[in-house]
Structure formats: structure tokens, C-alpha cells
Structure 1
Amino acid sequence: MLTYEYKLQGNRAQYAAIEEALRVTQFIRNKCLRLWMDEKRIAKNDLQAYCAVLAHDFDFAHKLNSQARQAAADRAWHAITRFYENCKSQKPGKKGYPRFQRDNRSVEYKTSGWKLEADGNHITFRDGCGIGRLRLIGTRAIETFPLQQIKRVRIIKRAAGFFCQFCVQADRVIDHVPTGTSVGIDVGLKAYSTDSNGHTVDNPRHYRKAEARLKRLQRRLSRKKKGSKNRLKARQRLAKAHLKVQRQREDFARKQANALVISHDLIAYEDLKIANMVRNHHLAKSINDAAWGQFLAWVSYYGARHAIAIIKVAPHFTSQNCSGCGTLVKKSLSVRTHICPNCGLVMDRDKNAAGNILKKAQNGTAGHAGTDAPVSA
């Protein structure tokens, strides 16, 4: 499944209609969730049928396309099934009990309720919400795909405006050119990543660089009167600044992951529990800024597209063991150089860890190929 995204251009009345569609989607999802809470043995089909009841009882719900109402019910069912799966697998901690949504930012149409013009530059939403004809701003040629391949059309609200996503049923085929090389990578805070060959990538620290401006915008927001138009404008400026950092972080992660996959036939990395690592309040901000999870997810995604081996290994003792002889050399986080008293190996701590990661993968330590990365915001 490929996702093509465009920015939507319309007038104020159309944007207000989109906002109404978002509120109706949230209403239907929450009502379906309430039905599941109040009654026993509710299945997915029951929620689908309940959409017709809501459309009959509420005129504003009837305006939304029928398949869009069903997609809203699917969201409620997805939250329910995730809760069931977490309980069944005995996931530690909170199981993710479904919650009511307060700020829905997307509405999803399936195969009806919209029409794409032949030039691929405009789309018309034809349900009762009154969104109408909008211009698509982007460089992707969505009109080259048959309409039968477009399975979903989403309208997404972000700080930078409204966007339209087309989910196309198509396989991305990439012919990987074998390089005959394998590599282990160790992610960190001083260097974004270090591989077993000693190559390092500097940590861009996007949030740290933008932190002063974000704090200034946050202070301006806090000074505005609640409910005023100036407060709304300040909030939008702050949201756009955060969105810029998010996009910078994702763009960097994707480019680094793609470059890594193209140049190797096997990639090994640590199966880190990042959610546990950010409990360290001294490092949480830096770890979140580095976004290791996003980077490794894209490594797995591109690895699957290129059909190369992406192997996760257990992180135990990768920094402590010597990559030359295997001797345990204990060191704190402040010690950045590995010095082995047994074989005399001296090298950077991260390079030593990357070497151990690659050895674990080559020795058959349990791992698996990564799956597709999540859809970007």
C-alpha cells in the first residue's frame, strides 16, 4: 500500500465544512465506543450497523458519507481489538483501555463520496457535508493510478493546513544492487549512529536547535487571553514550529535509513526498549529528539523493500564486551573509549558496540526482518 499526500487548497467555507466532517467522525467513533461499553458481546458488525442508526437519529451524522461513517466505526473497533490483544498477551503495565476522542484530526473516505478529476489537480467531496471541489497541491502523479487501486482517501488537519492522503493498492518494487557488505549500527546521543566500520553520523538535534524559539512562542501563547483570536493565532504559530521540527526529524531519519540500506546487504541493530529508556529524566529529552525508533522503523521498511536482511539483536552487553576477544570490560556511560585489558584493543565505545551487534547477527542470535514503517504525519 502506497500513500500519496497533497495539500488542500480551498476557501473558508470549505475549511469549515471539513471541520464539521471531523467533528461528525469523532461523534460516531465515540458513540460506537459508548455502545461497546454499555452492552455486552458487541462485534465489529454491530458497530457497522449502529452507524445507520446514528445517521437516522442525527441529521448532522446523516450528512457524512456512509462509508466514512463506517470508517469511523472501524477506528473504534481498532481501539477495542488492540485492548483485547494487549490483555490476551498479558502486556505489562496499562493495557490501553479505549478512550473517547477529544480532538479528531482526520476523516477517511473509502471508495465513494469523492471524485478525482482527470488532471489529478482537483478532488471533489460529494457527501452532504458540503466540502465540494478542492485543489491538490503536490508533485505526485496520482492520476496515473486506476481509480480501482485507490482504496482510501483521508483528509488530515495539521498546523500547516489541511492535507489529503490517497492510499493506493500497489507494490513498490526496488531492484537492490548487491554490495556484499554487512554492517552493525549502534545509535547514540553523541553520534546519531555509528557502524561497525567506524563511520559516524552527527546527531542533528533538531529540537535542541529550535528549543529557544519554541519556548519564546510558548511564552507568547501563555500571555494571550483565553478564548481570544490572538491566542488562537499564537497557538497556530507554536503548532507550526513544532510541525517543522517533526518534519525535519522524519526527513533526516528517512534519508539516513535509505542511504544505509542501499549500501549494504545485511544490517543489524539493537532491539532497544526506548519506552523504558526515556524514564531516565536526565536523558529523556535527548532520546526523544534523536527519534531512534523512527529511524530504525524506516531501516526496517526500506530493508523490506530492498529484500535485504534486517536483524534485531538483544542489546545485552554490546557496549561492555570486547568486540575483539569477547572479554567483559565494564564501563560507565561517561567512558567513551573501549580499552580491553586482555587483547589490548582500543577503539571508540560506539564502534565497539556496533561490532558486537554485527557479530551477534552473524552468529545466529535471534532476530527478524523489520516490517513497514508507520505512516508519517
Structure 2
Amino acid sequence: MAVNKDQAAIHRAVGNLVYLSWYGDLGGGELRLLDHIQGTKFPHKDITVVLGENGSLVNRVQAFGCSVLVSGWHGSASGITGLLARRLGRWRLDRLFRTIKNTSSLKSIVVCNTYPDLNTGGRLAVRRGLTVIWRARADTFVPWGIKLEQRQELVRFLNENVFRVAATTRYEAEAMLEAGVNPTLVEVIPNGIPLNTYNTAQDRGQDLRAHLNISQEALVIAFVARMVPQKGYEVFLRAVAKVRGRVPQIKVIIAGDTTLYHDGEPYKKDIYRLVEQLGLAESVHFLGFMNDIPAVMTAADLFVHASLKEPFGTVLVEAMAASRPVIAADLPGPREIVLEGQTGLFHQAGSDQELALAIEQLALDRDLRIRLGKAGYKRAATYFDANHNLAILDNLCLEAIAAGR
């Protein structure tokens, strides 16, 4: 998606892009936001990213030359302090929309990166006459998503006010249509990843193994996830403990921290304590938050996903892009990524016993690991290339500008 036109011409043809992100730290959705900004046809000086809270995303966005507004709408404070912070955040965002509407000569598009963004800033944008696209994260119309009465009201709002809904999965899109969302509004755009960053990561992966003093004979399992209960840390660690007696050369590298989880420190302590209780202290390496996920994936021999609920599962695509076989929880999101027996294996979500059996199967069969890894890379390159998928989203934004909405 490299911009290959004269910037002045693009400026005349495009407009203002406002991106709303409820979270200020880096999760999967926030990384996709950065990917879109990096490759968009909108000039970076005409992009404003509004964050609901302060965090590491601020510097990452500013590095592109984009404007950043921290509204403070998504505050973790409770009581009167939290109420005042949210009111101030709403006022800041409304002032931004009024300024754009009243002073800019360019047309504007507002992209909401989450349901909370749509439900707060998206509604404000509609009131100010701005065009809205919702980049749904596949966590709203699913069984564990919003309540039925909220869903019914959301359907009315979408049908009457939103230009397009970009669904992450077919599963989510079908749930939207079943709930009554106008089919002409919905387009499936899976999360993609920049494949080129994985093609060049092999040496960095080997460097990471060396840094951790992991021998070439060891079988390394990667686990990449925010350190929150829904990601299944306990399930994964108990499965490893079950397998270790039969596959003693197993080593585990875990990339992830309590990012976006305000009550994360007690949970992190519980996970560290569980590692000790299971006798895995010598086998598990906690890396914390990692920017270089390609290095983590290429350092491993296989990747495990153990989430208890999962709207998509971008980490599975990342592992496949590194030509690594995957073991995934059998959930709607992963089913749209992994092909059972072709690019990876499934296990029942929440079952450490089933996960242990799958780990053992791949750990003891190198040829199977290689075959699944090669097929996984082909699937990632065909269906989950960020350049292709984000170009579709960018074109939706340009279409909205051209339509004069």
C-alpha cells in the first residue's frame, strides 16, 4: 500500500481521517490501526488519532507525523473523578469534531476501532454530521458480546447512520445480518499482517534463542497473548506440565503482559506462582511485552493458542506467517484461520488435557510440524496479507469521502 502519487494531488483528492481508539496501549486492534496508518493514502498530516486513554500508542502514532488527542474518555477512575474525566473527554472530542466540521475545507471520515469508540465518539461524530465507519472487532454480536437490548438499538443506529461496517470475520458478519444489520453496510475484512517482516526474521529468532540460552535440540513452544484470564494462560501451562514428562526437552517462551488490563498485576503474580507450583520455572521464559513478534515466532518450533474466547486470533496468522505449525482453541475466530490437519490442530477451549495431547503429537513428529508450517504460510500469504486487506479498508474510507457523506 505504498503511496506512489504526488502528495499534493492526494491532498486534493482525499480528506481528513479521524481514528478513534478506546485504548492507549498496544493490543491486536491497535497494531492493526498502526498498520493502516502506515499504508494509507491519506496524508499523515491530515490524520488525527483520538485515544480514550494515555499510553504507548501516543508515541507510535506521532512517529508517523499524525496528530494525537488523548480525550481521557476511557478513564479507569471511579466515582466523581471518573465521571468528570469522562465528561471532559466527551467535551474534547466534541470540540474536535466541531472544529473539523466548521473550519476544514476537506471532507472527513471517522473510523471507530472498537465498539466503545462507536458507542461514544461515533455517536458524537454522527451528531456533528461526520461520516462514520465502524471497524468491528468481532466481539460485539457474538454470544459473549453486548446484551440483546443493546444489540437491537445498535442495529438501528448502524442502519440509519453508519456508512460501512468492516467485520473481522464471516462469523461476526453473519451474526450482524441475523440481528438485522443492512447487508449493504457489511464487508468482511480480516485482520492482516505485514508478511515481509516475517520473511526476514529467522536470524532474529535464532538470536533470541541464543540470548535465552536455549539449545538447538530443545523444542520451543511460543505463547503470545495479553496476560488476561480469557487468553488461557492457566490452561496452557497445565498442558505443558502434563507433556513435559514425555517430552523433557520442551522450552516455553511467553510474550505478553498486562497491557490494556487495569487489574493485571494480581493476575500476573498468580501466573508466575502457577509456574512455580507446576515445576516449570526452568522451562518457561517470560519475555514481557515484545515489539518483535516475528522474532518470537521464528525462535519457536510451534505455536499454541489457548484462549477461552476469541473473536479472531491474529497471533495465529503471525505464527503461520513464520511457517510455524499452530495449535488453536476450537472457537469461531480461529476456525476462519486454521485448517484442521492442514495448517494446524485444534483443541477444545479450556481443556488442558486435549491441548496436552495436541502438543505431544506435534512435539514428537517433526515432519508433521514442517508440513503444517509450510501450508500455514501459504494460507497466511493468500488470505491475511496486511497490504491487501488494509487496502480494502482504505478504499472504504476513500469511497465514503467520494460519496460526500
Give yes or no for TM over 0.5: no
Q: What TM-score comes out, normalization by structure 1 length? A: 0.25
Higher helix share: 2
Question: Which of the two has higher C-alpha Rg?
Answer: 1
Higher strand share: 1
Q: What TM-score comes out, normalization by structure 2 length? A: 0.24
